[in-house]
Amino acid sequence: MTATVKQDGTRVDCQVAVIGAGMAGMAAAIFAADHGLSVVQVGKASETSFSSGCLDLFSCIPGRKPDKFEDPFKGIDALISRQPDHPYARVSRDEIVQGFEMFTGFMNRAGIQYHCTSRTNQHIITPAGTLKSTWCVPSAMIAGTRALAERKQILIVDIRGLKGFGARQMAQSLRATHPCLSSVTVEFPGREKAGDLMCERLTWDLETPDVLSRFIKVLRPHTGGYDAVGLPAILGVYRFEELRDKIARALGTEVFEIPTLAPSVTGMRTKEAFLGQLSQTSVRHFPVSVASVRTDEAGGFRFDVSEGMNTLDIHAEHLVLATGRFMGRGLGVNPDGTVEERLFDLPVVQPGHRSDWFKKDFFNAEGHPINRSGINTDKVFRPLGADGNIYHPNLYAAGSILAHQDWKREKSGSGISIATAYKAVSHLAKSLETS
């Protein structure tokens, strides 16, 4: 049975409202729709455009001497024995796996296929010339991951005018461990006279068959003898597998993408695929932000969203708060210097005085104290109020807004988002069933 969002004039009624359209918001909307619930999702997803396209689960416990793990589940076990407050301590391995399966299954139907091996993290090359450890690698990048692992001959190509993406930088930086990497710089066809090139622009260019074949011609003299060719992520927002296969066939090598700095095509691709597939479901999506939420007479939530000229009055029985941290505006700072949660003014685990928020070394291995501030919840991710009890029985929180984690150093961003959204929505669905 699938419930549908009801609209009567400007009043909209749903069982679940998901606030936020980043990774946690996307996951929560997918899971709630999968449970057959009526869902409204609100949020701009601006952060998703920065995404590398990979899904991280876990690879590092930050500390004076960081503990790195090839097996993310071993890492998570070690993590929760040391940090029982961590969001991962509230989800089981099965819940993580089921959440990832459901999320990647949805994205797969949307045209993005992920590859993961069940027990170990994989590696991708980054534009900084480092190897990033991650769990699920999108198919656009997988050939690079495999070629690296198998020590094959890899050519990295960069494009004159496309800044912040240096093939020679990557090959040189990884030379000590991966002497199989080489680099070359090429001109992009039709853009030989341009100063600044943008990934998005080149992506649209490549959609033209003529540009694509000229690009292949530019590449061909350089790629002989290589097993795999790495390109900046510019192979189309919607048809990237097709473009990649065309280039690969023409060159007779494997072809893979390397993520770029913001705004990235990989991020755009994730967002577009999600929104495209979401439109096949009953979820109503509003790409706007929410200024405030209040509770309604029936014990649910009410808020306004604008749609064109209209202001809709949304009534939701349950609400999943997936508003993120400072970039997503889920958290902010009061004039008195305390960190606040912006929609409900929920109690926030404080990071101490402003002078202690950050370490002197930006790259400090223990991480900055402010990264661990956020929302405290119960076992099913319902935020706690000032009295230590749940703030509202129908309010849930998921993703990076949660306290006691440092996703950037743990490499756990997508994992925390997907796992906590999965657990929260499962509980929410069950409580709807029993009522």
Q: Which residues bind another protein (CB under 8 A)?
A: 50, 52, 56, 60, 66, 68, 126-133, 158, 160-161, 163-169, 172-173, 175-176, 185, 192-197, 259, 261-262, 325-327, 332-333, 337, 354-355, 357-358, 360-365, 368, 370-371, 407-409, 411, 413
| Minimum distance of another protein from residue 303's CB (angstroms) | 23
Q: Which is nearer to another protein, 361 or 433 (CB)?
A: 361
Q: Which is nearer to another protein, 19 or 61 (CB)?
A: 61
| Minimum distance of another protein from residue 180's CB (angstroms) | 16
Residue 6 CB partners (closer than 8 Å, separation 6+) = 12, 13, 14, 38
The three-class DSSP label of residue 111 is coil
| Minimum distance of another protein from residue 51's CB (angstroms) | 9
Residue 103 CB partners (closer than 8 Å, separation 6+) = 26, 27, 30, 31, 55, 418
Length in residues, the chain? 435
Q: Is the dihedral of CA 43, 139, 182, 70 positive or negative?
A: positive
Give the integer Cα–Cα distance in Å for 135 and 119: 9
The three-class DSSP label of residue 408 is helix
The position carrying tokens 């291995």 is 365
Q: Which is nearer to another protein, 8 or 196 (CB)?
A: 196
| Minimum distance of another protein from residue 353's CB (angstroms) | 8
| Minimum distance of another protein from residue 40's CB (angstroms) | 26
| Minimum distance of another protein from residue 130's CB (angstroms) | 5
242 alpha-carbon distance from chain centroid: 24
Find the angle CA(205)-CA(210)-CA(213) to the nearest 5 degrees. 100
Q: Which is nearer to another protein, 60 or 76 (CB)?
A: 60
Q: Which is nearer to another protein, 31 or 256 (CB)?
A: 256
Q: Which is nearer to another protein, 238 or 358 (CB)?
A: 358
Q: Which is nearer to another protein, 147 or 258 (CB)?
A: 258
| Minimum distance of another protein from residue 188's CB (angstroms) | 12
Q: Which of 110, 42, 37 is nearest to 277 (CA)?
A: 110
Q: Which is nearer to another protein, 50 or 238 (CB)?
A: 50
Rounded alpha-carbon distances, angstroms, from residue 2 to 33, 130, 350: 8, 46, 41
Characterize the bridge pairing of strands 228-232 and 254-258.
parallel
| Minimum distance of another protein from residue 33's CB (angstroms) | 28
Q: Which of 147, 140, 145 is nearest to 112 (CA)?
A: 140
User: Helix, strand, coil proportions of the chain in percent (round to 5)?
Assistant: 35, 25, 40
Question: What DSSP element (H or E) covers 311?
Answer: strand 310-321
| Minimum distance of another protein from residue 192's CB (angstroms) | 8
**Alpha helices per DSSP H over 235-334:** 240-251, 265-278
Q: Which is nearer to another protein, 36 or 161 (CB)?
A: 161
- In eight-state DSSP terms, residue 369 is G
| Minimum distance of another protein from residue 310's CB (angstroms) | 30
Q: Which is nearer to another protein, 38 or 121 (CB)?
A: 121
Q: Which of 340, 140, 351, 320 is nearest to 243 (CA)?
A: 140
Characterize the bridge pairing of strands 60-61 and 39-42.
unpaired
